[in-house]
Amino acid sequence: MRKVLLVRYGEVFLKGANRPHFLKILTDNVKKAVKPIGGHVWLSDSRVYVSNVEDMDECVRRVRKVFGLYSVSPAIECEKDLDEIGRQCIEMMRGRSGSFKVFGKRSDKKFPMNSLELAAEIGGRVLESNPNLSVDIHNPEIKLRVEIRDMCYICVDEIMASGGLPMGTGGRAALLLSGGIDSPVAGYSMMKRGVRICAIHFQSPPYTGELAKDKVMRLARELGEYAGGMRVYLVPFTKCQLEIHEKCPEGLGTLITRRFMMRIANELARQYGAQALITGESLGQVASQTMDALVCTDAVVDMPVFRPLIGMDKTEIMDIAKRIETYETSILPYEDCCTVFTPRHPVTKPKLDTMPKAESKLDIEALVKEAVENTEMEIVY
Ligand code: ATP
Ligand code: MG
């Protein structure tokens, strides 16, 4: 007998010729998720299994984050021997109360009882062992599942996983990751659809300190739990910001800063092999996120910019941040490189054709090149 985690995957994406390829990616992603806790992972009979973990709760926490999975159940694996199965079922139901039903499933046709006989027999034994249980075959509170496969698998609890598509099946994109609430949620939303992401963070020392960096690395690590780790590009941004502050109209400072972030991100994304950029912008949230402003930011890049939060309210975004476990980190105090130079009266309806003049005193190409060349890359797990 040993404890295993039984992992069910969503079938939607598994149609057609891609099936073996997708299943390999999915299994590999589960392997990556449990690698830090030493789990052993295998695929069998349209299930993924994890064994060899001491802390099952931690295993569940990690595996639930793998996209493309439907649900997980901590289970017992034992020999296909009726008495042994009965003992394990009684043990699993010990301390529980309420109505239950046994769901038998015989995939191994050599087992001497069929599914219904097995369920009835085990149900009887469990009922006898625990006076706080009753049988309800129509609407049971507790579903005890007994499956006869290459071994026997017994489980009770089913915990929903994240859904989505397997990481790595949806291309690559680069996420502009700040220390705020929004950008981690934006990254998560794209990862959920199978997109592998890297993070790009702009820092402006000495205006932003080590604390800001630590916070972003922590967010990247938390997001990385959904992806088996990720790359983080740390861009030195002080020079760009100082030059913009000095040489550009004040009211356009934030917008021009955003345009530089996008230009630099565009270059780094290309190096990473990404086909798109991702930001946490939401329409109208701040002056640089009006439609006019977004038109001006998009104009400097040559790849699509995905903004999965564009139509969401802050409260909706916060709810997701809490659910995906990035919120607590996002609300830690920190100084953002943007807030340091924020103009008092930002222009909310900038015109695209006024941008070249506003940026005319800057050597755009040289600034972008220098920032890209001095960017450092770290990998988080
Ligand atoms: P967030 O909560 O993600 O910080 P925000 O509402 O504060 O977003 P802005 O500061 O205007 O919005 O930034 C908009 C988007 O630009 C962010 O969601 C993020 O994608 C990107 N961004 C902002 N600051 C940085 C930074 N220092 N490094 C990388 N990306 C950034
Ligand atoms: Mg921000």
We report the CATH number of the domain holding residue 31 as: 3.30.2130.30
Same domain? 199 vs 265: yes
40, part of any domain: yes
Domain-located, residue 54: yes
Is there a single domain that holds both residue 23 and residue 155?
Answer: yes
Of all protein residues, the one whose alpha carbon is nearest to atom 26 of ligand 1 is 178
Q: Does residue 70 carry a pLDDT above 70? A: yes
Q: What is the pLDDT of residues 216-228, one digit of tens each?
A: 999 999 999 898 8
Distance between CA 125 and CA 129 in Å, rounded?
6
CA of 336 to the centre of ligand 2 (A): 6
Residues 336 and 298 grouped into a single domain: yes
Which residue puts its alpha carbon closest to atom 1 of ligand 1? 180
pLDDT of 191 > 90? The answer is yes
Q: Give me the pLDDT at residue 138, please.
A: 96
**Are 317 and 260 in a shared domain?**
yes
| 60 and 181 fall within a common domain | no
Q: What is the DSSP string of 265-322?
A: HHHHHHHHT-SEEE----TTSSGGGSHHHHHHHHTT-SS-EE-TTTT--HHHHHHHHH
Ligand 2 center to 341 CA (angstroms): 13
Domain boundary among 115, 133, 160: 160
Alpha-carbon distance of 60 to 195, in angstroms, equals 23
Which residues sit opposite 102 in a β-bridge?
144
Using the mean position of ligand 1's atoms as its centre, give its distance from the Cα of residue 15 in Å.
38
Asked, for residue 307, whether it belongs to a domain, the answer is: yes
The mean pLDDT value for 130-151 works out to 96
Name the burial class of residue 299, with classes exposed (0-12), middle (13-18) and buried (19+) by CB atoms within 10 angstroms of its CB.
Answer: exposed
Instruction: Looking at the structure, tell me whether residues 106 and 202 fall in a common domain.
Output: no
Q: Which atom of ligand 1 is nearest to the CA of 200?
A: 29
At 13, the pLDDT band (50, 70, 90 cuts) reads low
* Ligand 1 near 182 CB (within 6 A): yes
Domain boundary among 137, 160, 183: 160
Q: Are residues 98 and 10 in the same domain?
A: yes
Please indicate, yes or no, if residue 166 is contained in any of the structural domains. no
Do 90 and 209 share a domain, yes or no?
no
Three-state DSSP at 326 gives coil
Q: How far is the CA of 162 from the centre of ligand 1 (A)?
A: 25
Average pLDDT over residues 145-161: 96
Same domain, 151 and 272: no
Give the chain's domain count. 2
Q: Once rounded to an integer, what is the mean pLDDT over residues 86-99?
A: 97
Query: Does residue 96 form part of some domain?
Result: yes
118 and 229 fall within a common domain: no
Preceding omega of 206 cis (within 30 degrees of 0): yes
* Residues contacting residue 76 through CB under 8 Å, at least 6 positions apart: 1, 2, 3, 4, 88, 91, 92, 153, 154, 155
**Packing angle of the helix pair 238-247, 364-373 (nearest 10 deg):** 160
Range of the domain at 49: 2-160
Task: Please report which confidence band the pLDDT of residue 177 belongs to, taking 50, 70 and 90 as the band edges.
Answer: very high
d(CA 87, CA 118): 14
Sequence length of the chain is: 381
pLDDT at 12: 67
Q: Are residues 117 and 14 in the same domain?
A: yes
Angle between helices 253-272 and 238-247 (to 10 degrees): 150
Label residue 109 exposed, middle or buried (CB < 10 Å: 0-12, 13-18, 19+). exposed
Tell me what percent of the chain is helix, strand and coil, each rounded to the nearest 5: 45, 25, 35
Q: Name the CA radius of gyration of the chain, rounded.
A: 26
Confidence grade of residue 339 (pLDDT, cut at 50, 70, 90): low
* 167 belongs to a structural domain: no
Q: 278 and 206: one domain?
A: yes
